[in-house]
Amino acid sequence: MVYNSGGVKPGHLNMGRVIRNLSHVTDQSRKMTYHRPPIFGRDAYGVETTSVITEEILLPELPALMRPALTKSYRLERAGQNIVGAAAVYTENLKTIKGIANFDQDNNTNFNEIEGWDRFIDVDRHIYTMPTDVTSSAWAGTDWTFTSDGEKISAIHGGVDLTGAFVFTATGTNTLEADRVRFQVKASGSEPRLVDFQLNHGTAGAAYTLTYTPSSSLTIPTGSWLTVDVPFVIGVEGTSGPTSRTDNVSGSSIYRHGARYNVGVVAGASFDFESDFRTFTLTTSGAAAAYTIYIKGMHYNKTINWHVHSLREYNSDYMVFNCVRVRGKRDSRRRAYG
């Protein structure tokens, strides 16, 4: 068998290499978040119940090549204003995808393949990016010191207390157009527990804060980056249906090495998405010894949900999915109507 100098068999397309190379010249090649909503049980008559039998799958860092056919078509429908679209999404072959962290079937048995009406969550644009700059007093925390290499923040804990929190303070920034929050985090020295992270908007205090609390067993890895990609909305997908479902479905998920960690999302009594972003607080808990937390890529994002409509091409080199965008709100209407 003959291979070329790049280690690729002639006549075959290395889609992984294509996606990586194109990412340097076009933003159509990028990483998306794969999402499958929770699956509910059925009663004896086949009617969907309120009991979740398979939790949602929310897996960031899926390399893909996006080829939009129609990004936004503004429609006036019976329910009001809507935005629809269509696109082709190219991915690596299924075997390669299952070699990606979190998609590995040895650890994540719920993921077997990309199915119809699964979603690719794509970033339309960054609404706000938290700067990785420590030259000002924007980053602060008791027993914490901060350094930066321009790409990431290094928060060094002095090991005084078992639990420590540090805060980024903004100067009042509009984030209403955002619908998801994303950042990457890792540690060194030990694997501290990620206790929670909070977004404060408008006025200081718990009543004006949105709190994300992962399950108590989630720790921050020391070897690789942990990607956190969660909704910045109330009544997230899966919880906004019948009232009885709200208590049965988690606010969101964080996956680490294929294992799912539930994330509860609680808004203070006076939290308002229309208010400006003020502070981001990250709380960790670890051994009474020095350790370092690294954070990068902190964004409020406006995203597009591309639903898999059909599988156009499936072979040993790559897959092509025909996807549709079935809904989207106009930002002006969201601010006007809430």
- Specify whether the CB–CB gap between 148 and 133 falls below 8 A: yes
Over residues 217-236, the mean pLDDT reads 85
Q: Provide the pLDDT for residue 135.
A: 65
CATH topology of domain 127-302: Jelly Rolls (2.60.120)
* Rounded Cα gap, residues 147 and 321, in angstroms: 43
Q: Provide the pLDDT for residue 334.
A: 67
Over residues 233-245, the mean pLDDT reads 42
Residue ranges per structural domain of the chain: 15-124+304-337, 127-302
Give the confidence band of 8 by pLDDT, cuts at 50, 70, 90: very low
Over residues 26-45, the mean pLDDT reads 90
User: Residue 67 forms beta bridges with which residues?
Assistant: 88
Max intra-chain CA distance, the chain: 67
Same fold, 15-124+304-337 and 127-302: no
Buried-state track 260-269, b at ≥16 Cβ within 10 A, e below 16: bbbbebebbe
- Specify whether the CB–CB gap between 186 and 307 falls below 8 A: no
* Rounded Cα gap, residues 140 and 326, in angstroms: 42
- Specify whether the CB–CB gap between 129 and 151 falls below 8 A: no
The sign of the CA dihedral 17, 18, 19, 21 is positive
User: Residue 252 forms beta bridges with which residues?
Assistant: 263
Q: Provide the pLDDT for residue 247.
A: 38
Which class would CATH give 15-124+304-337? mainly beta
